[in-house]
Amino acid sequence: MTPTQRDLIAELRQGRHIRLVDETGVSLACDPGHTEAVQLLLDVRKDLVPTPLPTILITDSGQLNLYVRPIPEVAWDLIDFAERPLTVLLPNGVNLPDAFRAQVPVRKTLSEPIRQLIGGFGRGILTLPFETTDWPVGLAQPAFSWGNVPAQVQLPRVMELGPNGEVAFLRK
């Protein structure tokens, strides 16, 4: 049975994980507001080499207000005008578990199926991106999956943004 968007949203709201596929490859995903689901995602992260960067996927910069305050002025443009995958590390997380209060990794998804899922969910989705089309060996796959396998995985650029707009690339 192919899951519907409604099925996936129900899974996320119940604190379960799903498998997402977008331009950066496969990811383990959960509701960033569900403490137990986030903790399980962070526990999975500890066992992986290289260690993936948990990232909140959003549809546009308008969703930044849900996770970061204050928002550096340049962040709006960085998120909205990114034509390639770009993860921006922003200071001052809000409405998130403690692990993300000091620094929030955010990426606007470019995948239309994932954009539709986030739109239906009404807020961002926390992902653990594996940056490959292969699921990690030994990690149980969630019951539900969403998205399309890309022809080629695009590794996101990673940029750290300071409170006054200072920029540092961690991966170009």
Structural contact between residues 57 and 124, judged by C-beta atoms closer than 8 angstroms: yes
Nearest CA to 33 out of 120, 111, 140, 122 is that of: 122
* pLDDT per residue as tens digits for the range 111-124: 999 999 999 999 99
pTM, full prediction: 0.94
Average pLDDT, the chain: 93
Amino acid identity, residue 41?
A: L
Give the residue from 63, 61, 65 showing the smallest Cα distance to 77: 61
Q: How far apart are CA 14 and CA 149, in angstroms?
A: 26
Q: What sections of 14-111 are H helices per DSSP?
A: 35-46, 73-80
Asked if residue 72 lies in contact with residue 161, where contact means CB atoms within 8 angstroms, the answer is yes
Q: Which pLDDT tens digit goes with each residue over 95-110?
A: 998 888 899 999 999 9
Instruction: Map out the domains of the chain as residue ranges.
Output: 5-171
Residue 139 is classified by DSSP as P
Task: Please give the Cα distance from 156 to 34 (Å, whole number).
Answer: 25
CA contacts within 13 A on the Cβ side of 167: 13
Here the tokens at position 130 are 């594996």
CATH architecture of 5-171: Alpha-Beta Complex (3.90)
pLDDT, tens digit, for every residue of 128-147? 999 999 999 999 999 999 99
pLDDT-above-70 percentage for the chain: 99
Q: What are phi and psi of 171, to 5 degrees?
A: -150, 125
The pLDDT assigned to 99 comes to 87
pLDDT at 162: 80
Closest CA to 93 of 102, 85, 105: 102
Question: Which alpha helices (H) appear in the chain, and where do they start and end?
Answer: 5-13, 35-46, 73-80, 112-121
